[in-house]
Amino acid sequence: MPDDLGKRAAAGAGAARTRAIGRGRLSRRGVLHERSGSGGGARIFSRGVKVWVKICGITRLEDALVALESGADAIGLNFAPSSRRYCPPDEAARIVAGLPAGCQVFGVFVRASRHHIERTIGRTGIGGIQFHGEEPVEELAGWDLPVIRAVPVRDRNSVCAAIAEARGYRVLLDHGTGGGSGKRFDERLVAGVDLSEVIVAGGLTPENVADVIRRYRPWGVDTAGGVEREPGLKDASRIREFIERAKTAG
């Protein structure tokens, strides 16, 4: 790990002992603000001029620091035990404690109970929730944190409906088989659909992310497997390349 990243990790760990990191804070480049509606007071997040980028499936502090140093707007920690990128809460807490102040950290949950999510937030200090189990809209309401709702792309009508009904959270479009597949969704199903308020995921890599951004003009992009050596272990050079190409896509 480069010396400057190590120093930042140490500084972040010290600061974490006196504050909760990431909960309801500003992102490094985005702004959190309130929005009324069916979100029940949940926070929705905005970004600057460039596309918002999240590196998901983080399992190690060094990978999180590389992502943030390279310009990522957020990272994701997966709390689904069945995932190859599962991050135990105690390890997640260590990662969050080692990050610089103000980083935006999302926890990924699959059909978890509200009680379980609340306990995980308290144990780890994560600052956002990503629902990735096709949970009903009602379960997305009432959170005082930024919320992402993953929507599998299986047919055009359900995608359009999910985007239209989004209130107080952001929609993330993924492959129809669910997250972590490493597959692109069928582009024909979103042809002509306005994705300017949507996060696009599923099979994104340094090699294709710029083309996806130019084609769909999404609000944000999200990747996990596209920047890995193996599930859960990121490749620093691919992280840097992915973020650079996403941020400079014309």
Catalytic residue list: 56, 174
CA distances, 213 to each of 140, 248, 249 (Å): 27, 10, 7
CA distances, 4 to each of 10, 49, 209, 222 (Å): 10, 27, 28, 26
- By residue count, the chain amounts to 250
Distance (Å, rounded) from C-alpha 36 to C-alpha 57? Answer: 30
For 21-42, b/e burial (b = at least 16 CB within 10 A) is: bbbebbbbbbebeeeeeebeeb
Identity at 92, one-letter amino acid code: A
CB within 8 Å of 250: residues ≥ 6 apart? 214
Structure-token pair, residue 146: 């930024």
| 3-state DSSP percent of the chain in helix, strand and coil, to 5 | 35, 20, 45
